[in-house]
Amino acid sequence: MSYQSIVTVVDKGMIDRVFESARSEESYCGTIIAGRGSGMHENKKLFNLALEPEKEILLVLTQEEHSEQIINQIEEAVNITAPGNGILFGLNINRVHGIRSE
């Protein structure tokens, strides 16, 4: 069985909408991680100091055949394709332990 991890990085405060849209019976887990950083649309300075906005990262593990559906749900929930709204990518997973197939 093939699995994929879907990684979504958005501004702090938007992760709840991402998490709710990604929750489904096809996703096995969702983990939220806090982070900082900036993309090309967020390079701001204050008194010549770079500001690094707070980010939240959602990691979702799902079977590969369900990943496109989950990605579409996330895209619809937060308009991820618009500049400055975040980034989303999928990673193929070679090995998974701790998940039972029923």
CATH of 3-93, one of 1.10.10.920, 3.30.70.141, 3.40.190.10, 3.30.70.120: 3.30.70.120
Q: pLDDT category, 9, cuts 50, 70, 90? A: very high
pTM of the predicted model as reported, rounded to 2 decimal places:
0.79
84 contacts: CB under 8 Å, gap ≥ 6: 39, 41, 42
59 contacts: CB under 8 Å, gap ≥ 6: 5, 6, 7, 29, 30, 31, 32, 33
What average pLDDT does range 92-100 have in this prediction?
A: 85
- C-alpha 65/C-alpha 62 separation (Å) is 8
What's the confidence (pLDDT) of residue 101?
Answer: 61
What's the confidence (pLDDT) of residue 96?
Answer: 87
What's the confidence (pLDDT) of residue 98?
Answer: 83
Cα-to-chain-centroid distance, residue 62: 13
Domain ranges of the chain: 3-93
Chain-wide mean pLDDT for the chain? 83
> Could you report the per-residue pLDDT of 29-71, keeping only the tens digit for each?
788 999 877 665 555 665 666 666 788 999 999 989 999 999 9
Residue 89 pLDDT > 80 = yes
